[in-house]
Chains A and B, each alone.
Chain A
Amino acid sequence: MKRLVLAAFVLLAVDTRAQTPPETAFEDDVHAAAGLTCASCHKTEAAGAYAAPARTSIAPLCASCHSDAAYMRTVDPQVRVDQYLQYQTSTHGKRMAAGDARVATCSDCHGAHGVRRVRDARSPVAPANVVTTCGRCHGDPARMAAFGRQATHPAEWAASVHAAALIKRGDTSAPTCVSCHGSHGATPPGVTSVANVCAQCHLREAELFRASPKREIFDAIGQAECLVCHGNHRIESPADQWVGLEKGAVCEQCHDAAGDSGAAIRDIRQKLDTLQDATSTADARLTRAEHAGMLVEDGRLALQLAREHQVQSRALVHAFAPAPFAKTAADGVAAARRAREAGEAAMRELQLRRQGLGVATLLVLAFLATLWVKIRRLPPA
């Protein structure tokens, strides 16, 4: 809720600045802080009568300082100076150079008169805001139709596991548009490079896939590796049910039940299900024992190990080979069994305690009854 309010505040601040008079917005601009004035950019106009520079000239204008390493060292030594070079390689830059002023230039993303540092949470290109910024054009069907492109990508991303990480968990390292497409050099990753983009974070899965027999097959038929199963913008949290031959499973898109591949898919799915059942059962046993007041640390440690094996075995699905997967899954099932046994042992111990207490209570009650009889039989005082 707090993050939602913060996001609303940021959006409101961005929107408010867009309506703010340029001279007012510029007061809070990183360039004003660096000592620049209106005339620094509006070079050809008389003071007080500034006109907006032509859209095609904005990037070269910004680059006149931002590509000058000697100058940038005097105001911000840490800032990069290759943005314009990258921009020229991007789809935006190429179209702009060709005179198509409809595409994005520096001020479309960073703002014109209220520019803030990227690390400033109020910046339109800060991690929490960048999808909204890209979405102003790429989520606008009318604008995208002119380029023959879909405008669904920002909305698809918003439903992805990556958006959930950024928005719900506040993980600013979660991928947004620029993580995969680049920022200044923005361009869609092609079939051959998309796996490299995913591998920036999902290294283990990428290594397993590259060493698997699937890679050659995907390359041969022109399929874009990760995307075939996981999609691109609307990347959902993977589930064990994706492995399978029934409708809705991703394997089913290419495989049927016949042959070795069908048997291998069934086998992997069966082992994944077994491991999931084993961890769920162990967790239930341990929780029951804990609720009964028993300590089951050893069981919890074994369950943690089982879950680590489960994560590893799910990653090993990307090897498309039964052997390493089967061993890890079996190790996970064994750890889950130890966890379940620890929970069951705790419950047996609890039963034993209760039986012991039952016997002790009977003895105490018998003693109380004896005392009572003895008290009643005492001679009158």
Chain B
Amino acid sequence: MRLRAWLAERLPLDDVLATLRHKRVPHHEYSVWYYFGGTTLFLFAIQVGTGALLLLYYRPSAAEAYESVQFIVARVPFGWLVRSIHAWSANLMVASAFAHLFSVAFLHAYRRPRELTWMSGVLLLVLTLAFGFTGYLLPWNEVSFFATRVGTDIAATVPLVGHALVRFLRGGDDVTGATLTRLFGFHVAVLPAVATALVALHLLLVQRHGMSVPPSVERRAAADPGAVRSIPFLPHFLLRDLFAWTAVLAVLASLATFYPSELGAKADPFAPAPAGIRPEWYFLWAFETLKHVPPTVAGLNGEFVAVAAMGSGAVGALLLPLVAGRSPRSRAIVVWICAAALLFMGGMTMLALRTVTP
């Protein structure tokens, strides 16, 4: 108690606690989806923590990267656990971020005045995928090497600047040690700096505007103000958030222990690409789509058309609050488009998994 008094004298602890107790969160049949934002943030914190631990031993060069990861897994106490948690947490974070994005879209939480909250969220999802892409090569194993070669090749389809873009991503004409160093720099410096700023903005906006209530709940509340409850952020919502985080932690620890992330064989740039090369599961839908696109579409390079369509989809998602109308019909169109996108991505992922599974 003396410590608390000492801190309260110097920090506005009581004001913060009073604000959190005063802050209220809507509580209705869809409020379970609110927890995916907190879960994504929790997984991001785990990534930062485990990433910092891995940095103590990881060496970002073609000659030492694989061996240093091998050392981490085989020799460093609990190194296997830290690496496995980092790898699994990355996967769960992407899944959680996608769930958060689609739930926000389906519940129309992007509406005024939360346009910037949505747009910062979409950018955070893109950053999460960029974290995944840049981190994939870092163990410098066979699968990650060739998958990165294939992945960076896609950038070449962009007209005019395609080859410059590939050289920028790779640090040369091909995937080499320079690519590894470059992607490592993005993974541990550039992306975390941008992500931290965006997360801060995102949380500030969530705090500023509060949790959105779906239109159907809004209508019910308009008819009967007592029909929609709300709960205090502290302790009611925070304890539920803590419950979700603890459950995720249990799942994460189980996955890391029973399905530890494999290291595979060291990358050999001169060896032919082995069979079954594929990206992480969250890029599989795009990978599969590119496989099915014909060489030319309407006289244009088919791969370019597909990449342009996917890019347009991403830009459309970013600008969704600005282009979506306010009418119920417009909201229904958004739901159908999101459902179609989800179905397409899920279907393509299943197809890719079925193709590569022996």
Contacts and interface: CB of A to CB of B under 8 A. Distances in A.
Nearest to B243: A371
A293 B258 CA distance: 8
A361 B231 contact: no
B243 A365 contact: no
Interface stretch (A254-262, A310-318, A352-360): A352-360
Contacts of B259: 293
Contacts of B236: 375, 378, 381
A375 B239 contact: yes
B59 interface: no
A367 interface: yes
Contact of A361 (B81, B232, B235, B254): B254
Contacts of A297: 70, 74
B233 to A, nearest CB: 11
Contact of A367 (B80, B230, B240, B246): B246
B230 A357 contact: no
A357 B254 contact: yes
A295 interface: yes
A360 B27 CA distance: 32
Contacts of B230: 381
Interface string A337-368: 00000000000000001100100110011011
A375 B243 contact: yes
A247 interface: no
B6 to A, nearest CB: 28
A297 B240 CA distance: 45
A367 B240 CA distance: 12
Contacts of A360: 253
A374 B254 CA distance: 25
B263 A295 contact: yes
A357 B257 contact: yes
A71 interface: no
Contacts, number: 51
B257 A354 contact: yes
B242 interface: yes
Interface string B8-51: 00000000000000001001000000000000000000000000
Interface in A274-310: 293, 295, 297
Q: Which label, helix, strand, loop or mixed, suits the secondary structure of the A interface?
A: helix
Interface string B49-61: 0000000000000
Per DSSP, chain B at the interface is: helix
A38 B81 CA distance: 79
B250 A361 contact: yes
Contacts of B231: 381
Contacts of B326: none
A381 B243 CA distance: 18
B116 interface: no
A331 B250 CA distance: 46
Interface residues of A, number: 18
A377 to B, nearest CB: 10
A368 B246 contact: yes
A372 interface: yes
Nearest to B262: A293
Contacts of A371: 239, 242-243, 246
B247 interface: yes
Contacts of B80: 295
A295 B239 contact: no
Contact of A375 (B70, B240, B253, B258): B240
B260 A293 contact: yes
Contacts of B220: none
B249 interface: yes
A293 B263 CA distance: 9
A200 to B, nearest CB: 33
A364 B253 CA distance: 10
Contacts of B242: 371
Nearest to B249: A364
A178 B318 CA distance: 74
A120 to B, nearest CB: 27
B73 A295 contact: yes
A297 B254 CA distance: 25
A354 B235 CA distance: 34
Nearest to A353: B257
Interface in B243-295: 243, 246-247, 249-250, 253-254, 257-260, 262-263
A361 B250 CA distance: 6
Contacts of A375: 236, 239-240, 243
B109 to A, nearest CB: 21
Contacts of A361: 250, 253-254
Q: Which of A293, A360, A368 has the most B CB atoms < 10 Å from its CB?
A: A293
A365 B250 contact: yes
Contact of B247 (A368, A374, A381): A368
Contacts of A295: 70, 73-74, 80, 263
B209 interface: no
10 contacts: A357-B253, A357-B254, A360-B253, A361-B250, A361-B254, A364-B246, A364-B250, A368-B250, A375-B243, A381-B230
Interface of A: 293, 295, 297, 353-354, 357, 360-361, 364-365, 367-368, 371-372, 374-375, 378, 381
Closest 10 CB pairs of A and B: A293-B260, A381-B231, A295-B74, A364-B250, A357-B257, A371-B243, A375-B239, A368-B246, A353-B257, A295-B73
Given A357-B254, A364-B250, A378-B235, 17 more contacts: A293-B262, A295-B74, A295-B263, A353-B81, A354-B257, A354-B258, A361-B254, A367-B246, A368-B243, A371-B242, A372-B243, A374-B239, A375-B236, A381-B24, A381-B230, A381-B231, A381-B236
